[in-house]
Chains A and B, each alone.
Chain A
Amino acid sequence: MKIDLAAIEDASRELYIRALKMLPPDIKEGFDALVTHESDSTARGVLGTMITNITIAERDDNLLCQDTGLPIYNVEIGRGVDVDGYGLKMAIRRGCERATREHPLRSSVVHPLTRHNEHTSCGIEMPAIHIDFIDADETLRITMIPKGSGSENNSFLRMAIPAEGVDAVKTFVIDCVLAAGGKTCPPTIVGVGIGGTSDLCVALAKRAATRALGTHCADPDGAALEAALSPAVNALGVGPQGLGGDATSFAVHVELAATHITMNPVAVNMQCHSARRASATFTPAGVAYGY
C-alpha cells in the first residue's frame, strides 16, 4: 500500500478539528457512569454542565474547550506500507498548520524562551509526532490528541529506588492527585508510567492518560494496580473541578516498561475531562475516521 502524502496532510488537518469538537464515545459513557454514582449535589451539577457542553459543542459545531492544546500525532505503521517517512512528518505538520489557519483555531504553541507565537500551532519539535510500527497488514493509523495545558502542567516524575517498592508508586499517585487538585480540570484520566528510563517512564504515563476508557494495561500486575488505584483516587474527595465529590477521576491507567535493577521510576500525567482524541485509519479501501 503506497501512502499519498496529500491525503495524510488532509487527514492531519481534519483530525485536529474533529478531535477538538467530538468527544469519543468511551468518554461520554465515562461521564454517564460518574454522574450515576456521584453522591455530592454540587458535583452532580458540575458533571451535568460538562455533559450539556458536549451536546452544545455538537449542536453548534464548536470546540468543546477553548484550549487547542499541544498537538500530538501518534502514527502507527503496519506491514506492507510504502511511505516516505520524512515526507509523512512534513505532511502532518502542514495539516496541523492548515487546521489552525483555515478553521481558525487558537494557536497555543509558543517558543519556550521568547514566547513568540507563530499562529500555526507549530514550532520547534511541535506538533509532537510519535511513530511506531505495528503487526497489521497494509494499515497506517494516525491518532491526534490535543493535550490541554491545565492537565499537562500537572505532570510528575519520581526516580524512586527499589527499596521503596510498589508502595512508592501508590503513594506518588495519590500525592500527585492531591497536588493537582482542581487545576487539571477533573474528572481526569490519571496516567501512570512505571519503569523504563526516565524519558520512557514519562512517555508511558502520557500513553496511559490518553488511552480509551475501558481498556486495561496488557500486563496483569499493571492491570491489578489500575483496579486498586482507581477507587482509591476517588475516595480522596477532590471531585469535579476540585470542588468536592466522588468523581475525581474516570480511571487510573497504568503502562509499564522493564527497568534497571537499581531503578523504580514512576511518572504521572493526567488527561482532563475533555479527553479528546480522533483517529484516521488508512487501508487499501481508503481512509476511515474514528477515535
Chain B
Amino acid sequence: MSHHELELPVDEAAVRRLRIGDTVTLQRTLFGIRDATQIHMFDHGRTTRFDLAGHAVIHTAPNVRKVTPDATNPAGYAPVCIGTTTSDRMERFTRPLLERCGVRIIVGKGGLREASAAAFRDLGGVYLAIVGGTAALETTWIEAIEDVDLDDLNPESLWKFRIRDFGPLLVGMDSVGGSLYETVREHAAAKRAAVLATLGVKA
C-alpha cells in the first residue's frame, strides 16, 4: 500500500500502477459530472467542448454562487460547498466515460459494481473513494471553478475545478479487478446467517 501524487491529466500506465488500498492525492484539474450530465451525454448524444482524456471526474453537483466573471472566478461561479454523491446510480456510464471520453479516474462514494470493474480492467481506469458527506472539507481542496459546460443542466453541469492537494483518496477499485466494495459485500453476505441466528430467526 503506497501513496501516489497524480497531476492531471495522467497516462494509462499511471493508473495501471495503482492497487486497492493505495492512497492518491490529485493535483491541478478535476471535472464534476453527475446523473443528468451523463444521461445527456450518453443517452441524448450531447457533446462537451472539454477534453476529458486522461482526466479524473468526480460524481458531484455543487452548491455555487453566481458572480461576475473575473480572474478568481473565471466561469462566473464561486464555490460554496462541493461534495460527492453516491456513485452506484451512474454504474452504466463508467464504460462510455472511459471508452468515448478517455477518462482514467472516477472519484466517488459508495463504490461501483461489476460492469465498472470490467471497464477499469479492459480500458485502464480506477475508482478513488472519497469520504461521502464531508463536503466542507472537500471544498477546501478546490481553488476555483475554472470553467463550466452543459450549464443548462445546472447544478448537474459539467464542471471544471482547479484543485490543490485533493485527497488523500483511497483506491477502492483498480485496473486488475480489485474492489474493496466487492470484498466487503462478500464478507457481509457471508455473515448474514450467523447474524440472523443471534436474532433468533429460524433458518
Contacts and interface: CB of A to CB of B under 8 A. Distances in A.
B2 to A, nearest CB: 15
Interface string B28-67: 0000000010000000000000000000000011111110
A60 interface: yes
Interface stretch (B4-12, B115-123, B143-151, B195-203): B195-203
B110 A150 contact: yes
Contact of B140 (A60, A105, A185, A238): A60
A66 interface: yes
Given A66-B83, A243-B184, A53 B88 contact: no
A46 B83 CA distance: 15
Interface stretch (A76-84, A170-178, A262-270): A170-178
A174 B84 CA distance: 26
Interface of A is mostly: loop
Interface residues of A, number: 55
Contacts of A57: 136
B185 interface: yes
Nearest to B82: A66
A88 interface: no
B199 to A, nearest CB: 5
Contacts of A50: 131, 133-134
Contacts of A238: 184, 188
A181 B87 CA distance: 12
Nearest to B131: A49
A170 B82 CA distance: 37
A106 interface: yes
A163 B89 CA distance: 36
B100 to A, nearest CB: 23
B61 A185 contact: no
B75 to A, nearest CB: 16
A63 B129 CA distance: 21
Nearest to A150: B86
Interface stretch (A130-138, A195-203, A205-213, A227-235): A227-235
Contacts of B191: 235-237
Interface in B160-203: 170, 172, 180-181, 183-185, 187-189, 191-192, 194-196, 198-202
Given A53-B136, A63-B63, A242-B111, A182 B181 contact: yes
B135 A183 contact: no
Contact of A244 (B184, B196, B199): B184
Given A66-B83, A153-B89, A243 B181 contact: yes
A139 interface: no
Contacts of A52: 134, 137
Contact of B187 (A63, A67, A244): A244
B12 to A, nearest CB: 26
Given A149-B86, A174-B192, A241 B131 contact: yes
B196 A171 contact: yes
Interface centre among A104, A174, A229, by most chain B C-beta atoms within 10 angstroms, is A174
A66 B63 contact: yes
Contacts of B85: 66-67, 149-150
A64 B135 contact: yes
B139 interface: yes
A54 to B, nearest CB: 8
A229 B199 CA distance: 8
Interface string A34-63: 000000001000100110110011001011
A267 B58 CA distance: 32
Contacts of A272: 132-133
B181 A115 contact: no
B110 A242 contact: yes
Nearest to A236: B188
B101 to A, nearest CB: 22
A273 interface: yes
Contact of A104 (B63, B139, B180): B63
A66 B81 contact: yes
14 contacts: A52-B137, A56-B137, A57-B136, A63-B135, A66-B85, A104-B65, A104-B66, A106-B81, A108-B61, A115-B36, A236-B192, A237-B184, A237-B188, A243-B129
Interface of B: 36, 60-66, 80-86, 88-89, 109-111, 129, 131-137, 139-140, 154-155, 170, 172, 180-181, 183-185, 187-189, 191-192, 194-196, 198-202
